[in-house]
Structure 1
Amino acid sequence: MGDFDMPRFAQQLIAFLLMLASALLPLPATAAAPAGKVLLVISSHGAQSGQERPGFEMDELSQAYAVFADNGFDVEIASPQGGEPVADEYDPRKPYNARALSDPDFLASFRQTRRLMDVKSEAYRAIFVIGGKGAMFDLPINTDLKQLIAATYEAGGVIGAVCHGPMAFANLRLSDGSALVAGRNLTGFSNEEEALFGKRWVPHFPVFLEDALRGAGGQFSKGAIMLDHVVTDGRLVTGQNPYSTARTAEAVVAAVGLPAAPRQPYPDERSVAAIHSLLEGAGTQVAEAIASDPAGYDIPLIAVWGYYRTLQAGTDRAMLVQGLAVMELAEPHFADPEFKRTMGEVRQRLASSK
């Protein structure tokens, strides 16, 4: 202060005001108090990247991990056998996978997942079950997982799952003997999606996921194939397919009672949202949005979705028109001769069905 000596009471007053101001300011993200513990559960069933036995979906694990970590949770990963489970084949270049594979905390948890039998008595604010076809085999019969889910739910925790993950709930009963899903609104990988995308392993399933949840008394709902669909029923949160993962995890955050941190949607999320908007009649606006920023979308995903919609259509002309319209969204940005030929065949089908 140079030659000016501030009175001691003034120094004390300023120090007090600075302390008060700092207390009223939001803490930086790195200093935020932990939101509690979340457990991500993955299948141990996989072998040879899903070629010998189906495993879990890395896309779902990495997206869910990112959402919970970014919202201040202490994230743990567990599996029936512990150690490093085998994921089905995936693309490590996708942004969420690339992030996870470069995150030391994620890698430490993933390469040494905790055994479910070792965590069954621990307290979690939420449990989130990751999908992948392996979840159809080992998770529904794991008694440690059943006990942990029931105990967490009855203690006021939130239970979530995505894609094939809700199969863990199908034959799960609470301490009073009631089924967890009885009378509850929920979703998961639909029968239509199994018919189109699950042909290799479906013959080995004990039951279809949708049928199992309906049979347990669940009020099952579903959106169009491979589009984002999330259902929240109190402290039970479910998502239909891999493209529902991030929003399902955010819905779990909301069910815990916290506001989800803002984030930028991934290109595949933007693509699924674009398809959904087109189906609702906003085709022109969607085409313009994609044309202005094609790199912000997963163009092959849009093309493939349209193709599968035409396969699903059968003799349903309206669905066939939808599939072609989605393919036309991708066409200006997807120079693939086989894709062009397929579009020509779809147009011929439509012409012959008039």
Structure 2
Amino acid sequence: MQKLTFYFLMIFFLASCSKKDTNEKKILIVTSNQHTYGDTQISTSNHFAEIVLAYDVFIKNGYSVDFISPLGGAIPIGYISTSDSIQKKYLYNNELMNKLKYTKSPNNINPFEYKAIYYSGGGAAMFGVAENKKIKSIAESIYKQNGIVSAVCHGTAGIINLKDEQGNSLYQNRNISGYPDLFENKEAEYYRTFPFSIEEKIRENNGNFMHSEKQRDNFYVIDGNFITGQDPSATTSVAKKVIEAIENQQ
């Protein structure tokens, strides 16, 4: 009798855990560990505004946020403007800075806990993320369970290799935005270190790459469960649309 009781308790416990995983309000933010442009000595980093403006929207709407990076642990941050009140607030926020110091390893992530994945940008986003098989699998699993895949600026680099179970591009025939070649300085040394062009890769994989003819005009596109923005100016809008999309599913 005791064994039977224990058996039913275990079933109840596992069912409860499974229910919690699918109902908990969580969003995953992807970052990079890269400190330099390729093998050069030119410093790069994750774009602080693209992290904190999205983070601010997510937590204010009642979502908890986890951060991952290809290697886990500390990540470089840059592009910081203390004249922006939200950036300044989070620059001195111990909870957030601790999360960025100890980003999670992809090996320790259960994708079924998350309603959305968001790829932040900055030059660092061009390195180590797109080719990371664990992060790729996490994003594909989130999408498969009707989750939202979102990105801003160079963060879109992280989604280029996403596939469905048949091996087709996850975003084929979808409108996708990110930082376009139009605004890259192709003669600069930093650009020559990029392993690929975001714009070209999206198109090669049968996505419709969209962008504005102007910079910093809050350009973003929504197509199905993909929500992507051109540059940092779209960060808040993309984050708000992520929340809206999640809430509309419930």
TM-score, L = length of structure 2 = 0.83
Query: What is the deviation of 1:255?
Result: 1.3
Q: Percent identity?
A: 27
- The DSSP-based 3-state class of the residue aligned with 2:75 is coil
Quote the Cα distance in structure 2 between the aligned partners of 1:178 and 1:257: 28
SS of the residue corresponding to residue 195 of structure 1 reads: coil
Q: Deviations over 1:35-90 (max 9, x none)?
A: 70001111111259x96342210111011110101111011111111112012342
The one of the two structures with greater contact order (alpha-carbon pairs below 8 A, sep at least 6) is 2
Tell whether 2:194 aligns with 1:205. Answer: yes
SS of the residue aligned with 2:218?
A: coil
Shift of the 175–123 alpha-carbon distance from structure 1 to 2, 3 Å rule, reads farther
Report the 3-state secondary structure (helix = DSSP H, G, I; strand = E; otherwise coil) of the residue aligned with 1:159.
strand
Q: Which residue of 2 aligns with 1:234?
A: 224
Aligned residues: 224
Matched residue type, 1:43: S
Runs of 4+ in 1 over 6 A off after TM superposition: none
Q: Which has the larger radius of gyration?
A: 1
Out of 54, 72, 75, which is 1:85 matched to? 75
8 Å CA contact 2:42, 2:190 repeated in 1: no
Q: Which moved more, 1:208-217 or 1:51-60?
A: 51-60
Distance 1:53 1:172, change over 3 A: farther
Contact in 2 for aligned 1:131/1:163 (Cα 8 Å): yes
Residue 97 (structure 1) aligned to one of 80, 87, 95: 87
1:46 and 2:21 are equivalent in the alignment = no
Which among 136, 152, 157 is matched to residue 162 of structure 1?
Answer: 152
- Equivalent runs, 1:244-255 vs 2, <5 Å: 244-255=234-245
Q: State whether residues 132 and 164 of structure 1, in contact with CA within 8 Å, keep that contact through their aligned partners in structure 2.
A: yes
Match of 2:45 in 1: 55
State the Cα deviation string for residues 103-161 of structure 1 (Å, max 9, x = none): 33212212211112221555200000001111112111100110000000001111100
CA contact (8 A) 1:167 1:209 kept: yes
Indicate how the Cα distance of structure 1 residues 210 and 142 shifts in structure 2: closer, same or farther if over 3 A, else same: same
Q: Report the counterpart of residue 288 of structure 1 in structure 2.
A: none
**Which structure has more helix as a fraction of its residues?**
1
Secondary structure, aligned partner of 2:113? coil
User: Equivalent of 1:110, from 93, 97, 100?
Assistant: 100
209, 212, 230: which one aligns with 1:220: 209
TM-score calculated relative to the size of structure 1? 0.59
Flag the 1:188–1:229 CA change in 2: closer, same or farther, 3 A. Answer: same
1:179 and 2:185 are equivalent in the alignment: no
